[in-house]
Every structure is written in structure tokens, then in C-alpha cells.
Amino acid sequence: MIEMENINLIKEIANDIETIKKALSLIQTKRWLTTSELSKYLGYSKDRIYKFKNTSFIENLHFYKKEGKILFDKIAIDDWVICKEKTNETNQSQKQIVDNILSSIKEI
């Protein structure tokens, strides 16, 4: 026979399972992450995420600026984490090339 306190425990466990399922479905299906979400996802501080944004991530590849918000592409970030991407040195040279092109356009 099931005791009453165990029935309440079963209800709590069922609620916890539902909460976990919802959280997992968000993590698995959400492609665009805010700075806070990316910070939690990668386990880095927000300051570190901003540093990566300025030194390692490429705009319009790893992150996009939309209406004053920065949105990070989870797929591109995952590739960056597992080093499928170009090295940081290559990223820096690409940034320099883009900056040079933009500078020359502004001069025209």
C-alpha cells in the first residue's frame, strides 16, 4: 500500500521532471542567445563573453546586432568551442581586412 506522504513526493517528482523537460527543450531548440544566456550556456562571466565578442567572435558569424541587442548564434559558438573554426589569428586578420575595406569605403 502506498502511504500518503509518498503520493505527495510522487507529485513533486512529476513537477520537477516537467520543469526539467521544459528547460531542456529550450536549450536544445533555441538558436539565438543573449549575452546572459550565452554566459550561462558556456559557464563564463558576461565580461568574458564581451571580451570574446571583441577579440574572438566575428560579427555576422558568431553574433548579430539587432535593434540595440546582441544576439549570439549558438551553432556558430558551438563550432568555435570545439575549434571547428579558424584560429584566433585568422579571425583577427579577417577583422583587419574588413576594417580596412570599411575605412576605404568611408573615404570614398
Cβ contact 70:53 at 8 Å: yes
**pTM score:** 0.55
The tens digit of pLDDT for each residue in 49-104 reads 999 999 989 899 999 999 999 999 999 999 999 886 555 566 667 778 888 888 88
Write out the residue range of the structural domain in which residue 3 sits: 1-30
Give the C-alpha separation, 48 to 46, whole Å.
5
Residues 43, 25 share a domain: no
Give the three cell numbers for residue 84. Answer: 571547428
Residue linked to cell 577583422:
95
Residues 63, 102 share a domain: yes
The reported pLDDT for the residue numbered 88 is: 57
Give the C-alpha separation, 50 to 63, whole Å.
11
Residues 52, 3 share a domain: no
Question: How many separate domains does the chain show?
Answer: 2
Which CATH number characterizes residue 92's domain? 1.10.1660
